[in-house]
Structure 1
Amino acid sequence: MTEAKTTDKPRSEEASVPRARTDTSGNAKNLVTSKGTTSIDSGVVAKIAGLAAREVSGVYDMGAGTARALGAVRGIVGGEKSATQGVSVEVGERQAAVDLDLVIEYGVAIPDLAAGVRRNVIMAIERMTGLEVVEVNIRVDDVHMPGQGEGERGRIEGAEPEPRVQ
C-alpha cells in the first residue's frame, strides 16, 4: 500500500485524482477514487438488467426452456420468479457486459424489440451503477402465441384433452 502524500496545492490542482468514467450528464461516477473503491456485485447488475428488459413491451418472459420450467415450478410451490432468470453478466471495475435470453410476443418486430431492450438495459445499468455497458447480447429463445399457456392452467390434471375435431 502506498503512503498518502500531502500537498499544499489548492483543490483545483487536484484534478489528477483517478476517477471512473463520466456519464453523458456530466455527473462523475466515483467507483474508483483516492478515498476507496465501490464494487458492485454481478447479481445486482443482473437484477437491474432483468428488470429493465422486462419493462419493454413485447417481452413475454425471459430464460431458456429449462430456466422457465424451473421458474414455473418455483411459482407453483409459492416462490417468486427470479428477476435474474435469463440474464448473465460479466462485471469488471468499470465495465459490464450482459447476455439476455428472451421470449417475445408473437407479432413483435424482433430487431425493434432488441434495440429497445438494449437501450433500456444500458440506460438502467449505467444510471444506477455508473458502470459502462460495453455490450448487450440478446438471444430470442421462443415466441409466445396469444392464448398459449392460459388454457393449460385451467385444465384438471388427468382429464382427457378435448378433441380438435368432432
Structure 2
Amino acid sequence: MNENHILELEDQKSELGTVEISPEVIEVIAGIAASEVEGVATMRGNFAAGVAEKLGRKNHGKGVKVELDEEGITVDVSVVISYGVQVPEVAKLIQHNIKQALQTMTAIDLQAVNVHVVGVQFETTEVIDTEALS
C-alpha cells in the first residue's frame, strides 16, 4: 500500500496496468451492505456526516471506518439496531454481508469486520387503539 492510502490489488495487475481502490469506496460498499441487513435501524456517523445528510447529501459510508495496515484491512461499523432483534445474530449477518459484498465487488479479503452497536431504536409510529381495549 502506498502513501496515498490507496489499496492496490496485487492480483489485479495486468499488461494494461493496475487496479487501485480508495478506502472511501470500501466504506461505501460496507455501509450499503450493513444497512441492507434486517434489524439495522440506521448507521451512526460523526457530526459532519449528519449535517451533510440534513443538507441533502446521502452518505453511504456513514458509520464505517476502514483501516489499512500491514496485517490487512479492518472495517469498523457503527450501527443502531431495531428494538427486539437478537443483537448477536444481526451483528453476524452484518459481518457476513460486508465480507461477501467486498469479496464479490473488489476481491478484497478482510482481516476483521468489527460491529459496534451504539444504540437501539424503538418504534415510535406504533398506534395503540385504546377503544379496542375497553
Which range, TM-score by smaller chain? 0.7 to 0.9
Q: Give the match for residue 138 of structure 1.
A: 115
Q: Give the match for residue 102 of structure 1.
A: 79
* 1:88 maps onto 2:65 in alignment: yes
Q: Give the match for residue 106 of structure 2.
A: 129
* 1:57 maps onto 2:57 in alignment: no
Q: Which runs of 5+ in 2 are unaligned?
A: 1-8, 127-134
Specify the SS of the correspondent of 2:21: coil
Matched-pair identity in %:
36
Alpha-carbon distance in structure 2 between the residues aligned to 1:130 and 1:70: 28
Specify the SS of the correspondent of 1:132: coil
Q: Give the match for residue 47 of structure 1.
A: 28
- Rg larger for: 1
Report how many residues are paired: 118
Specify the SS of the correspondent of 2:20: coil
Could you give the per-residue CA deviations for residues 13-52 of structure 1, whole angstroms, max 9, x where no partner exists?
A: xxxxxx95xxxxxxxxx32457643111000000000000
**TM-score scaled by structure 2?**
0.75
Alpha-carbon distance in structure 2 between the residues aligned to 1:84 and 1:99: 11
* 1:74 maps onto 2:52 in alignment: yes
Alpha-carbon distance in structure 2 between the residues aligned to 1:97 and 1:34: 30
Alpha-carbon distance in structure 2 between the residues aligned to 1:40 and 1:142: 31
Alpha-carbon distance in structure 1 between the residues aligned to 2:106 and 2:62: 20
Could you give the per-residue CA deviations for residues 30-84 of structure 1, whole angstroms, max 9, x where no partner exists?
A: 32457643111000000000000000000011115xx26852x43443x133111
Q: Which runs of 5+ in 1 are unaligned?
A: 1-18, 21-29, 151-166
Q: Amino acid of the residue matched to residue 123 of structure 1?
A: Q
* 1:119 maps onto 2:81 in alignment: no
Q: Amino acid of the residue matched to residue 26 of structure 2?
A: V
